[in-house]
Amino acid sequence: MQFFGKIKSLHDLEYITKAYIYINKSEDEKLTIEELNLLLKKKNKNVAGTVFLHNPATVPLGYNLEEKLAYQDFVFDDNFHELEIEDPVRIISKALKHKYKGKLIEVKYLFNYNKKNIQPTKAMEILDMDLEKLHTNLLTVFAKTDNFQDYKNISYNGKFIFFAWGHKIDRHHTNIALYATNIAQWSKKAGKDIAFIYDGVRDEEGSFEYVRFFEPYQFGKLKLVVPEAINQIFSKETIKPYRI
């Protein structure tokens, strides 16, 4: 598989504003940026679905994730770049590789801010405060357009939406909780097959209502359980929620 994204920097913060996984037809095939752009001209034909993660933590091939790209002489342009495959993307891609060869899968993020381990950090407090200002003229720390999703106007291509942004959204972050809920609820209007992983804390309906969607990359006893659940979801003709 390959991973591609557009990267933007604004006020010393870096964002992945668009991202796609490509499932290679064979081990020898390598998609070029030019070929990616040609596929994207016919999204309805070439994009199989959408995966929704929490936030990106990746860099273009050959760059260091531990340092800002701005300090590595990266040229921020409006072009796609091939990215290092982050762990959540790798796990999901393995589940997709047999069914979607030659297809693109769009990756969307709850927040486009490109940073490792932002949960739980002060960044979440700032994101919560920013969301209160999102539809006002007040200034935000994170870029309104580049960081946040306009939930009423999200375009979904392909047949499915797989939510995997995490099951531990802090309900004290009321604006983040509402923002995530709005994205999930409005996704129903797209008419796509929707899937996510949930557990026995809440039933399927309650998990969707509380946007409790397990992330692919886990620790401890869930490290093997969740990837296998993803495999089960995408082994079926029609994807649907899966309880672990």
pLDDT 10s digits, 64-88: 999 999 999 999 999 999 999 999 9
Mean per-residue pLDDT, 126-133: 97
Q: What is the pLDDT of residue 170?
A: 87
Query: How many Cβ atoms from other residues are within 10 Å of residue 120's Cβ?
Result: 11
The answer, as to whether pTM is greater than 0.85, is yes
* Structural contact between residues 146 and 73, judged by C-beta atoms closer than 8 angstroms: no
Strands (E), the chain: 2-10, 13-22, 47-53, 81-83, 104-109, 160-163, 193-195, 197-198, 242-243
Mean per-residue pLDDT, 41-65: 97
216 prior amide bond cis, ω within 30: no
pLDDT of residue 120 exceeding 90: no
* Structural contact between residues 37 and 80, judged by C-beta atoms closer than 8 angstroms: yes
Q: Residue 47 to residues 21, 73, 79, 189: CA-CA distances in angstroms? A: 9, 32, 18, 19
* Tens-place pLDDT, residues 135-155: 999 999 999 999 999 999 999
Q: What is the pLDDT of residue 243?
A: 98
Mean per-residue pLDDT, 17-42: 97
Bridge pairing between strands 242-243 and 47-53: unpaired
| Domains in the chain: boundaries | 2-243
| CA dist., res. 196 & res. 181, Å (int) | 14
Q: Residue 53 to residues 2, 187, 217: CA-CA distances in angstroms? A: 17, 14, 11
Mean confidence (pLDDT) of the chain: 96
Which H/E stretch holds residue 152?
none
